[in-house]
Structure 1
Amino acid sequence: MDSLDALLREAEIAHGHLCAGQILGVRMAMLGCERLGIGDPRGHDRKRLVTYVEIDRCATDAIGVVTGCRLGKRALKFRDWGKMAATFVDLSTGRALRIAALESSKQLARERYPEIENKNQQQMRAYRELPDADLFAEAWVSVTVEPRELPGYKGERVACSQCGEGISYDRFLRSGDAVLCYSCAHPDERYYQPLTGDAAPQSANSIPGPRCECP
């Protein structure tokens, strides 16, 4: 595995900037891979690892950089729990380790570098140097990764009987003879609601462009 500094440079490029959360994410992922004995997660060991992340913040981008796990590869799983934590699952052995950032690390950063007024800069410096035990809580856990959740899973592709949109990876429900996507089966629970009638905005093609203000 690359060095901490090298991985931080990659994380900064991928995320757009370097911050305390990025450093935590890189170190968390490095620790998870080390504990599982995965030395080359983006190369030789790339098919062994599935990672569950519990927050949609900076650390998640950093974890993806270190592990090579991506949503598009179906190797990164997001659980919106609002916690700076991740679980690393070794598919080859079934072992799984959950790592959570300790709240106490913020106070340790303040105590170690009280002369640094900027909180982010203070934490960035401390998080590079503090030992893993001062940054993270570790717990071996059991994770059941269902076949349909595995990278490379090939399930049937069907069309929703109501909206007609294609559905992959068994994400559908049967109602009698009908096959429904989750959105049509539970319209009150979907994250969007269709706009109709006067509530719907005009299409982009029908909106007039700005008028010329030249004299």
Structure 2
Amino acid sequence: MQKIIPFSEVTKFHGHVCPGTAIGYRAAKISLKELQSDRPVDEEFLTIVENDSCSVDAIQVVTGCTLGKGNLIFKDYGKQVYTFLNRNTGKSIRLSLKKSIDELDSDFSKIRTKAFSKEGTHEDKLEFKSRKNDLSEKILEMSADELFKLEHVTMEEPEEARLFQSIKCEKCGDYVAEHRARIEEGNIVCIPCFKEYNRN
């Protein structure tokens, strides 16, 4: 029997209710149902997210996937797209959001801008909070096919997280994982200390 993580747990972790966490919550729940998995343990479930929005917090809470365990992979594409893989079955799905926030509520951006402008009043902020809660509730209640385009996909399974040796940057002295280090004029350096070669 699948353990249902309530949305309140996401809110507790994230700090507030918002459309982003509602989107992530729905994506994560749909993935567990489609891939016939209980809330996974350790690395048997893997998630690839293509944005760093509030939705990712919800996905972590519901699926148990985290950056630290290496089963949450972040691709900085700025897209509301989420791919989930059940390592035990080899099955995977890709969910992409069908409608933008502005399509779900045409006045949302305008109300948010007004609430956080210099002229924004306490009442404006309350109106935005109310609208934010209403939109989040709407997302939580939408049908899966109305909210997402769902595709069963075949993906090459990424290797499990590896541990790398830490080596000292010869410029700043910080330790850096060896696979992230760079060589500059024969010295081992970290990415922030590395001077990119650019002839433009």
Over aligned residue pairs, what C-alpha RMSD do you find?
A: 3.0
8 Å Cα contact 1:106-1:123 kept in structure 2 = no
Stretches of structure 2 that go unaligned for 5 or more consecutive residues are 107-127
Stretches of structure 1 that go unaligned for 5 or more consecutive residues are 111-116, 190-215
- Equivalent position of 1:33 in the other structure: 32
Shift of 1:127: 1.8
- Equivalent position of 2:194 in the other structure: 185
* 1:154 partner SS: coil
Shift of 1:14: 0.5
CA distance in 2, matches of 1:73, 1:38: 18
* 2:79 partner SS: coil
1:138 aligns with 2:150: yes
Structure 1's 188 and 71: CA in aligned 2 closer, same or farther, altered over 3 A? Answer: farther
8 Å Cα contact 1:105-1:134 kept in structure 2 = no
Shift of 1:52: 1.8
CA distance in 1, matches of 2:191, 2:164: 16
CA distance in 2, matches of 1:175, 1:144: 33
* 1:96 partner SS: strand
8 Å Cα contact 2:43-2:65 kept in structure 1 = no
CA distance in 2, matches of 1:29, 1:159: 39
- Equivalent position of 1:84 in the other structure: 80
Specify which structure has the bigger relative contact order, considering alpha-carbon pairs within 8 angstroms and separated by 6 or more residues. 2
Shift of 1:34: 2.1
Structure 1's 108 and 158: CA in aligned 2 closer, same or farther, altered over 3 A? Answer: closer
1:102 aligns with 2:98: yes
8 Å Cα contact 1:54-1:86 kept in structure 2 = yes
8 Å Cα contact 1:52-1:79 kept in structure 2 = yes
The one of 134, 137, 149 aligned to 1:125? 137
- Equivalent position of 1:162 in the other structure: 171
How many correspondences in the alignment?
Answer: 175
* 1:170 partner SS: helix
CA distance in 2, matches of 1:163, 1:92: 43
CA deviation map 1:51-105 (0-9, x unaligned): 1222222211111100111222222222222222222133345443221111178
Structure 1's 122 and 141: CA in aligned 2 closer, same or farther, altered over 3 A? Answer: farther
* 2:47 partner SS: strand
CA deviation map 1:144-166 (0-9, x unaligned): 52x4xx33x22222222333321
- Counterpart code for 2:166: R
CA distance in 1, matches of 2:69, 2:14: 18
- Equivalent position of 2:47 in the other structure: 51
CA distance in 2, matches of 1:99, 1:66: 16
CA distance in 2, matches of 1:61, 1:52: 13
- Equivalent position of 2:7 in the other structure: 8
